[in-house]
């Protein structure tokens, strides 16, 4: 009898231990499942690992599009480059990131180049990114050869549009620069082309047009200049001041007919 009781107690104890183990295993499994479910709220384990990692990467926001003025420090950085090729590469980087320059800044950078051929490449590239194209004549003084200057003048004359015109007439200092540049040209043909470039982007009063006309050597070239400059004159009622720079009365009458409106 005692043996049977002892055996019964042993069996009961074994069953109790087995139940506790099963219960403990179920609790552990449920805890693990709960943890996995809680983790899956944030990480989809069916998603490929690179995708999971990519979602946690910090992605830089793209810079807003639109013109961005170039700082004086960025302009000075061109001077620290040793070769023209490096300067051209830097310019391309600036303009491709919507950087814009003033004609004065472009002039400073152009003067840092060693060769006219590279200056022409830079000035052609920079023209579309110049915020005051009506002042682009300033860059011509950085070029060594008249043939180089003519290439830039032709480019500007071809590409200037109505939106590129200045809001007002040149001030006194700007006019001094314009007249000086005209006087420095070797031939009237170069003066005439320079005048076309400048007049394409600016308006003038009759007095300023007269000052420009006086720089020409020959009457015929002066007459040609006054013929197209009248379209940029803000006070045509005073154009007699410019016409008075002509020597021959026949040339004066020709320009007078252009000034008077057709009826």
| pLDDT category of residue 203 using cuts at 50, 70 and 90 | very high
pLDDT (tens digit, 9 = 90+) per residue, 106-151?
999 999 999 999 999 999 999 999 999 999 999 999 999 999 999 9
Could you tell me which residues come within 8 angstroms of residue 142 by beta carbon, excluding any fewer than 6 positions away?
107, 110, 111, 113, 119
For 32, the token pair is 């693990």
Instruction: Return the number of other C-beta atoms located less than 10 Å from residue 205's C-beta.
Output: 18
| pLDDT higher than 70, residue 17 | no
What's the whole-number average pLDDT of the chain? 85
Q: Report pLDDT for 13.
A: 55
**Distance, C-alpha 111 to centroid of its chain:** 19
Residue 21 to residues 18, 24, 27, Cα–Cα distance (Å)? 5, 5, 10
Instruction: Return the number of other C-beta atoms located less than 10 Å from residue 38's C-beta.
Output: 9
Question: What is the mean pLDDT of the segment spanning 98-107?
Answer: 97
What single-letter DSSP state applies at residue 69? Answer: E
CA distance 239 to 237: 6
Q: Is 98 left (phi over 0), alpha (psi -120 to 50) or beta?
A: left
| pLDDT higher than 50, residue 216 | yes
Task: Say whether pTM exceeds 0.85.
Answer: no
Q: Are residues 107 and 127 in contact, defined by beta-carbon separation less than 8 angstroms?
A: no
Instruction: Return the number of other C-beta atoms located less than 10 Å from residue 49's C-beta.
Output: 8
| pLDDT higher than 80, residue 16 | no
The count of residues in the chain is 263
Residue 35: strand, helix, or coil: helix
If one compares 59 and 207, the residue with the highest pLDDT of the two is 207
If one compares 60 and 209, the residue with the highest pLDDT of the two is 209
Q: Are residues 146 and 134 in contact, defined by beta-carbon separation less than 8 angstroms?
A: no
Question: What is the mean pLDDT of the segment spanning 158-187?
Answer: 94
């Amino acid at each position: 009898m005692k043996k049977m009781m002892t055996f019964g107690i042993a069996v009961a104890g074994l069953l109790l231990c087995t139940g506790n183990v099963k219960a403990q295993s179920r609790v552990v499994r449920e805890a693990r499942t709960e943890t996995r479910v809680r983790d899956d709220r944030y990480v989809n384990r069916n998603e490929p690992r690179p995708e999971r990692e990519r979602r946690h990467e910090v992605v830089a926001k793209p810079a807003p599009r639109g013109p961005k003025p170039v700082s004086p420090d960025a302009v000075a950085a061109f001077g620290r480059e040793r070769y023209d090729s490096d300067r051209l590469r830097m310019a391309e980087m600036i303009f491709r990131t919507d950087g814009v320059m003033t004609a004065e800044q472009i002039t400073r950078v152009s003067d840092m180049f060693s060769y006219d051929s590279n200056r022409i490449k830079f000035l052609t590239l920079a023209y579309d990114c110049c915020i005051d194209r009506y002042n682009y004549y300033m860059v011509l003084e950085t070029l060594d050869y008249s043939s180089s200057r003519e290439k830039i003048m032709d480019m500007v004359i071809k590409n200037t549009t109505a939106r590129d015109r200045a809001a007002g007439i040149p001030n006194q200092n700007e006019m001094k620069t314009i007249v000086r540049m005209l006087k420095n040209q070797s031939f009237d043909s170069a003066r005439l082309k320079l005048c076309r470039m400048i007049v394409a982007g600016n308006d003038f009063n009759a007095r300023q047009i007269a000052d420009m006309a006086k720089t020409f050597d020959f009457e015929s070239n002066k007459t040609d200049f006054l013929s197209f400059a009248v379209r940029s004159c803000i006070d045509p009622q005073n154009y007699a001041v410019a016409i008075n720079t002509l020597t021959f009365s026949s040339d004066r009458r020709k320009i007078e007919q252009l000034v008077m409106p057709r009826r």
